[in-house]
Amino acid sequence: MIKTQKDYEKAVELLKKWAYHYYVLDNPLVTDEEYDKLYREVEKWEKEHPEKIDPTSPTQRIGDVVLDEFKKAKHITKMWSMEDVFDENEFIEWVNRVKKLVKEFTFYIEPKFDGVSLNLVYENGKLIRAETRGDGEIGEDVTLNAKTIKSIPLEIEYKGLIEIRGEVVIKKSDFDKLNEERIKKNEPTFANPRNAAAGSLRQLDVKITASRPLIFYPWGVGYPIEMLIEEDLREKYEKEKAQFIEKFKTYKNLMDFVYSLGFKEPPKRSECMDIECVLKKYKEFIEIRENLDVMLDGMVVKVNELDLLDKLGYTQKYPRWMVAYKFPALEKESILKDVVIQVGRTGVLTPVAILEPVDIGGVIVERATLHNFDEIERMDIRIGDHVIVIRSGDVIPKITKVLYHKRTGKEKKIPRPTHCPVCGSEVLDEGAIIKCQNLNCPARIVNNIIHFASKNALNIEGLGESVAKLLYEHGLVKDVTDLFNLKVEDLEKLPLFARKKAENLVNAINKVKGIECWRFINALGIEHIGEVASKKICEKFGIDFYKRAPEEFYRIEGFGPEMVKSLEEYIRVNREKIEKLIELIKPTNPKKEVKKSIFSGKTIVLTGTMSKPRSEIKEMLEELGAKVTNSVSKKTDYLIVGEDAGSKLEKAKKLGVEILPEKRMWEMINQS
């Protein structure tokens, strides 16, 4: 409870610490519930004492301001563009040009994020201005918007004047969610994460920017390292610049300093002594970029030695001391040749684009997802259209844009299906979702078998798509339960099924008996219930999950109405099938190892802020044999207390419950 100015200041510092660990280090210290509770207390105190609000409080990130327009802001040092090179030969040519001006140097390497550049100006430790690149000399003042980005510190320890430059990006996963929300609202979607980041940063309504999950990654320093725009500041500038160069010496050391101020560090950066090392790092970046949740379009290579930057200088457009070594393109133009319809295991019809083959980042792309027929109509995609295709990781490529200006008039509209393309049954059209209702549709049955046997389900080796189709077509498997009745002599009759292959498949099916509970649930293919949700169900209810009332599933963290409704419907329709499969497979419940300790059999309550999230400490104590409850009573053996303990502490004192500071709990665990 915040009662005094000192309490408020302490709470603000704690919130800032928690936010830094969550948004910058990706290592949360507390649960969202604990953060939100303290956030609301701080908010309440600030409303009662508006004259005493700390401008760096996390509550001050989200404003209610709607701007008429962005004001212009002049940079202290110019924000240059970067020269691009696209292959090894062009990179070596750049190195040779550098060598004509300086003989000995090393390289500093960092990722080139595909976002929008932002210049942050700090003075006396405070963020005083945030500016877009603009024309390099004058940008737009987006300070209020930048303050809503949680990975941008509002205050840093360095008290001098400094420009910290970086890229505002949005994660691929957040980009997909953002577009899904916009589709639901009938709003135009963003073409790619870069457009989403740029559009989100340049919002006149600050609340819109605050609602978008933007991230800031620093990649450089303007003042006091780079060339001033205003000549009259040169005398002071040269002194501070010399001090910076003497102190840090290399760009690597300079960026180490920047990240130490509380900024988010990129996933990979390094120093290189020679060209061979740079080329090796380039290959490493290409290998990892698909697995990163942020878009990279290249690798930045800088001359590492700060005292060489002025000597190398600038062209009219670029610094001579850095270059962007671009990756192969992941976005290309193609032509939509046809649309085929796939039927999934739940009966949903999904349109897939057949494209003129195109090489995107070294992969020949011939297909792309079209999401659903509402999306086709919204984008007005037609067969014969020229389209922009983007490929990201191993995910099926997507069409992001239709080039309407290239239409000839011969393009054909894509009709909504009225019948299932596999079984011919009339479909149920629910708008975004068109579904085949026939439970005996071959596509549904075959896809169910494929999923049932897949790696993250029962993991039946040798039972892939081609074998599943073969088993169905020859009448051996009409339902997944039929798999457990297969005999070697039946399989031997199938084309290309020698005895050894038949024996291996039967053995692989028999091996699934006793499989983990979560694999069994995941194998059922319940809509909206994947691997993570299956594990949570097993941890909470075990293999008897289907006997639970629907409302009990809401107690599982992260389970909402859509998931619970899907579970309820599946269990109601398939209860007998679940019981039959349990009898056949005999899946095992997760084992919770309980260790003997000083806390075995004790009833414990936790309160206050602790060194680890309370959920982790609760799980640990339960593994040590304790029963952890939420409320203090006469039956409570110990109340374990962290910082800022609340009403539970007072109640424990009244009831005479033994109170243990968190530090003492750890000591007792170590002793036992």
Are 373 and 399 part of one and the same domain? yes
Are 99 and 214 part of one and the same domain? yes
Residue ending a domain, choose from 372, 401, 433: 433
Q: What are phi and psi of 569, to 5 degrees?
A: -65, -45
648 is a catalytic site residue: no
The closest alpha carbon to 624, from 672, 578, 580, 581, belongs to 672
Strands, E, within 328-397: which ranges? 331-343, 349-360, 363-369, 382-383, 386-390
Element (H, E) at 462: none
Which pLDDT score is estimated for 62?
A: 60
Cα–Cα distance measured from residue 150 to residue 263, given in angstroms and rounded to the nearest whole number: 10
Amino acid at 460: I
Which pLDDT score is estimated for 179?
A: 86
| Domain CATH for 615 | 3.40.50.10190
Residue ending a domain, choose from 433, 450, 484: 433
The closest alpha carbon to 371, from 174, 180, 170, belongs to 180
Q: Is 454 helix (H, G, I), strand (E, B) or coil?
A: coil
Cα–Cα distance measured from residue 165 to residue 222, given in angstroms and rounded to the nearest whole number: 7
Cα–Cα distance measured from residue 82 to residue 553, given in angstroms and rounded to the nearest whole number: 53
User: Can you give the residue range of the structural domain that contains 458?
Assistant: 442-510
Look at residue 385 and tell me if it is in a domain.
yes
Element (H, E) at 240: helix 234-248
Q: Tell me whether residue 286 is exposed, middle or buried, using C-beta atoms within 10 angstroms of its C-beta: 0 to 12, 13 to 18, 19 or more.
A: middle
Look at residue 662 and tell me if it is in a domain.
yes
Q: Radius of gyration of the chain from Cα atoms? A: 30
Residue ending a domain, choose from 510, 543, 559: 510
Tens digit of each residue's pLDDT (9 = 90 or more) over 176-234:
889 888 888 877 777 778 888 988 998 888 889 999 999 999 999 999 999 887 766 67
| Domain CATH for 246 | 3.30.470.30
Which pLDDT score is estimated for 641?
A: 92
Q: Is 628 helix (H, G, I), strand (E, B) or coil?
A: strand
| Domain CATH for 28 | 1.10.287.610
Are 506 and 521 part of one and the same domain? no
Amino acid at 553: F
Cα–Cα distance measured from residue 546 to residue 483, given in angstroms and rounded to the nearest whole number: 22
Are 41 and 155 part of one and the same domain? no
| Domain CATH for 549 | 1.10.150.20
Amino acid at 328: P
Q: How far is CA 22 from CA 19, 26, 35, 235, 421, in A?
A: 5, 5, 10, 41, 48
Look at residue 302 and tell me if it is in a domain.
yes
Torsion of Cα atoms, 286 then 291 then 292 then 294, to 10°: 90
Cα–Cα distance measured from residue 92 to residue 274, given in angstroms and rounded to the nearest whole number: 11
User: How many other CB atoms are there within 10 angstroms of residue 565's CB atom?
Assistant: 14
Look at residue 182 and tell me if it is in a domain.
yes
User: How many other CB atoms are there within 10 angstroms of residue 180's CB atom?
Assistant: 11
Are the beta carbons of 600 and 623 closer than 8 angstroms?
no
The closest alpha carbon to 330, from 353, 298, 300, 283, belongs to 298
Q: Tell me whether residue 166 is exposed, middle or buried, using C-beta atoms within 10 angstroms of its C-beta: 0 to 12, 13 to 18, 19 or more.
A: buried
| Domain CATH for 386 | 2.40.50.140
Domain count, the chain: 6
Are 622 and 661 part of one and the same domain? yes
- Angle in degrees, CA 334, 338, 340, rounded to 5: 125
Look at residue 224 and tell me if it is in a domain.
yes
Are the beta carbons of 17 and 29 closer than 8 angstroms?
yes
Are 303 and 398 part of one and the same domain? no
Cα–Cα distance measured from residue 446 to residue 637, given in angstroms and rounded to the nearest whole number: 56
Look at residue 593 and tell me if it is in a domain.
no
Are 25 and 163 part of one and the same domain? no
Are 190 and 234 part of one and the same domain? yes
The closest alpha carbon to 320, from 300, 305, 302, belongs to 302
Cis peptide before 224, with omega less than 30 degrees from 0?
yes
Which pLDDT score is estimated for 135?
A: 83
Low-confidence ranges of the chain (pLDDT < 50): 393-394
Look at residue 46 and tell me if it is in a domain.
yes
Residues making up the chain, counted from first to last: 672
Could you please report the per-residue DSSP string of 181-200? Answer: HHHHTTPPPPSSHHHHHHHH
Are the beta carbons of 599 and 617 closer than 8 angstroms?
no
Are 276 and 153 part of one and the same domain? yes
Are 97 and 217 part of one and the same domain? yes
- Token digits for 307? 């005292």
Q: Provide the 8-state DSSP code for 623.
A: H
Which pLDDT score is estimated for 88?
A: 94
Are 91 and 133 part of one and the same domain? yes
The closest alpha carbon to 117, from 159, 77, 80, belongs to 80
Look at residue 216 and tell me if it is in a domain.
yes
Are 303 and 350 part of one and the same domain? no
Active-site entry in 112, 252, 281, 536: 112
- Angle in degrees, CA 602, 603, 606, rounded to 5: 120
Q: What are phi and psi of 301, to 5 degrees?
A: -115, 125
